Amino acid sequence: METQYYALVLINIIMSKGNQILRSSLLTAMSNTVVAIRLRELVQSIINSDEHSNNDSFTSLDTITLSTRHLSRSSLIQQLCLLQRFYLNELYTDAMNTLPDRYDTKYRDMISELRRSAFDTDLLLSEQSCQDLNARVSSVSMNETITNPRRVEALQRDYERLGFQDLREPIKDFQTIPSGILSLQNLFYFCIHQKNDFIRFVLENSCKTLQQQCPLVKSAIEYFDSLLIIE
């Protein structure tokens, strides 16, 4: 593991001391599919080494190198943690410092997808009505708002169950720094790639008493805010 250790040390030095161009180039290289696979294999090998170390049947070679392996594993874990911090900071710095444009349909669609995935009320609300709550802030007239009170009420109720604080304009919940659009992107990823868990979390939370509830959106934003300020 000595070679891997010094390779990680070199990468971490570049990530911490290199200029923006050098860091970006290294980040691009690390994002390469082959490199990413090798990094995952390295992490897995470190995890497996701990399992082997708990095995009581050692060969003589295992016994001789046991202490070295423990030292190497400890050092590698430290370097991997540093690499993870540098990598995530570099990868998500722009997102965590960017506020979502309240008029950008991309972000409105992401929020609408959170609602649709959790409650699936498209049979009751038309596709256009799913955008009504956000569209009102730009160009929809007051008459449209008054003539669709049930739409607005249904949307606001769903957004409240999801854990939004601003029920009239949910996108404003993500207009905080440092989390910015990063918390929305992570929630959307959770919704798309772990849909069953996402739905179960929202629905189970909706059935709890007010004192027992853990609002998903509010909790996610606070979690990412806390995570991003950890040095």
What pLDDT score was predicted for residue 137? 38
- pLDDT at position 47: 64
Report yes or no: 98 and 180 within 8 Å, Cβ to Cβ.
Answer: yes
Percent of the chain with pLDDT over 70: 72
In this predicted model, which residue has the larger pLDDT, 210 or 203? Answer: 203
Q: So where are the chain's domains?
A: 2-96, 105-228
For residue 28, the model assigns a pLDDT of: 82
- Confidence category of residue 230, pLDDT binned at 50, 70, 90: low
pLDDT digits (tens, 9 = 90+) for 135-163: 443 443 333 343 478 888 888 888 998 98
Torsion of CA 71, 76, 79, 85, to 10 degrees: -130
Express each pLDDT in 92-137 by its tens digit. Answer: 777 888 888 888 899 999 999 999 998 874 443 444 444 444 444 3
CB neighbour list of residue 93: distance below 8 Å, 6 or more residues apart: none
Burial classification of residue 135, based on how many CB atoms lie within 10 Å of its CB (0-12 exposed, 13-18 middle, 19 or more buried): middle
User: How much is the pTM?
Assistant: 0.61
pLDDT in tens, 57-94: 434 334 334 444 555 677 878 888 888 888 877 777 77
